[in-house]
A and B are shown apart, each in its own frame.
Chain A
Amino acid sequence: MSLIQSARPLAAWRWLGLPALYCIWATILFAVPIQILGLRLPEPVFPLVLSFAWAVIRPSILAPFALLAIGLFLDLFWGGPAGLWAVSLLAPYAVVLSARSIMSGQSNLARLAWYIGATGLAFGVGYLLTAVDSLAFPSPMAVFWQFLATALLYPVARGLIERFEDADVRFR
């Protein structure tokens, strides 16, 4: 039975749909206005995990459009300029996808470095686009805190990659 299941093509809703829904749910959950000991919750960009993991798992036609939709959701939900996070999510996806063959077979530490680099690229693109859009430079410290909160999500990205990297025999 397990042999037959592993021989089946991986359904898109399993590695694209469900993780996307989880990220949207986590984004909504972390936007609740609460303070704990006078401090607000961190606000990591959960979909950046998808941007990195989807590119590592396999090339896909659906994934970029899913990232586009999630990015637009982030912009509408957070009230930012429409398209900002869509571009910022697609940029690291494109880079990681093009470097996919270089990353294969590397250690976990090297993959972590790639993840941090991809996250940094996304925030760099967001920083530049915001500066051009608003004609002002965002606070580097505020950017750093959100970058740090997002970089700490690497275990989630790693789990997603390990769960689906070998899920389809055609991509082994």
Chain B
Amino acid sequence: MSLRDGPLVDIKAPLIWTASVAVIVAGIIAAAILIGDRRETLQAEAYSASKNVVDSVAVPVGGAIAAPVRWTGGGVDAVRGYFFAISQNQQLRQQNLDLERYRDAAIALRNENERLRALLSLRTDPPIDMVTGHVVIDARGPFSNTRLADIGSERGVVIGNPVMSEHGLVGRVVGVSRGASRILLLTDIASRTPVLVDRTNARAILTGEGGPNPKLAYMRGQNPVQPGDRILTSGDGGVFPRGLPVGVAVMGLDGNWRVRLDSDFAAIDFVRVLLFKDFHQLVDQKALGESNLPPLPPAQSEAIQQLEHPAPKPVAAPAPAVAGAETAAPASNAPSKPASAKPAVKPGVAPAKRARPSRTPTPSSAAPAPSGPPR
């Protein structure tokens, strides 16, 4: 008997009821998806396959829409360049004179820097490769500030790579698929970037809030920053290389120190991804767990072995029925712990099992910094 023939055939729920049930079910599904999301983690597995698929589809669609806009912009620039060629020429001549002075100073500083490094035997930082791509999607709402670029894993981009514009740091890669990279901007609510004030070397965490000017949080010291101070990446934690230009410190209307980002003054449709490996990518986790301490002397090693695996207590022998039994006292009367079982390890010498490897790199030492901000 089908349901249609049964007694339930006359039951008709009002549409508003069924619609309400549909709203509740859809709401529960949405809430479950929201709770299960792990957007804030910088792990490849947290960036789900559905996000990868959407990114891969959005790149050609966004690219097709953005291409005419880019062509139009290029045409306008060409026309503007033609009509303002003389004034631009004068500006460029003046700029060239300024840059020549900077070039001379840079040569002298580089020479001095190399000599000091040689004196101190400092490890030089390896150069960082970079790849350039187009931005095809730009999300700029208060709850998510991301961009989608048309370069992905086929160009060597991995999650965590820093992203720069021609003027300064833009953000970092949080999702990669073939032909697409999702970039979390510095202004995103989930973005936290370790930075320093160039003048005072004071550290802070650049905290995105969805607005155009992220906040400098966790600053310490008295007057560590002044308006106009240059803000650079500090390299702490190894996520970013040290010294990438971020912006300029400004005092916000709410009384908090904020940063006017250098990347705001650059074109938003081009980005450069630095193929920089962060601390977690560089460190061999297996090597971290291994012990490289020299072996202990045999006596200490044996003592530790006995501590970890104490010998079983001998079973008490039956009381002898003959005289002179006291001389053959049962072993239970003997001290239960042999003298040699006392740990002979010197204070401060940890057992090899618990020791940490002495060559564990610190985040700051493991993070190779570019010799200069990549431009």
| Interface residues of A, Cβ cutoff 8 Å to B | 28-29, 31-35, 40, 43, 45, 58-65, 67-68, 71-73, 75-84, 86-87, 90-91, 93-94, 97-98, 126-127, 129-130, 133-134, 136-139, 141-143, 145-146
Contact = CB atoms under 8 A, between A and B. Distances in A.
Contacts of B175: 79
Contacts of A142: 141-142, 209-212
Interface string B60-75: 0110011001000100
10 contacts: A31-B62, A33-B138, A59-B15, A82-B34, A83-B30, A90-B27, A138-B142, A142-B209, A142-B210, A142-B211
A33 B39 contact: no
B139 A94 contact: no
Contact of A90 (B26, B36, B48): B26
A31 B137 contact: yes
A59 B19 contact: yes
Contacts of A63: 19, 22
The 9 tightest CB contacts between A and B, nearest first, are A83-B34, A139-B211, A80-B144, A79-B146, A86-B30, A83-B33, A59-B19, A142-B142, A78-B139
B22 A64 contact: yes
Interface centre among A67, A98, A127, A134 (most CB of B within 10 A): A134
B268 A33 contact: yes
A130 B146 CA distance: 15
B178 interface: no
Interface in B185-211: 189-190, 207, 209-211
B66 A32 contact: yes
B167 interface: no
Contacts of B20: 59, 94, 97-98
Given A28-B62, A97-B23, A81 B18 contact: no
A83 B31 contact: yes
Interface centre among A60, A72, A82, A145 (most CB of B within 10 A): A82
Interface centre among A28, A35, A61, A67 (most CB of B within 10 A): A61
A82 B29 CA distance: 11
Given A65-B22, A93-B23, A97-B23, A79 B139 contact: yes
Contacts of B135: 33
B54 interface: yes
Contact of B269 (A33, A43, A98): A33
B189 A64 contact: no
Contact of B23 (A45, A90, A136): A90
A126 B142 CA distance: 9
B137 A77 contact: yes
B141 A78 contact: yes
Interface string B260-283: 000000011100000000000000
Interface centre among B18, B35, B54, B138 (most CB of A within 10 A): B138
B170 to A, nearest CB: 12
Nearest to A137: B209
B210 A43 contact: no
Interface in B109-165: 135-144, 146-148
A136 B211 CA distance: 13
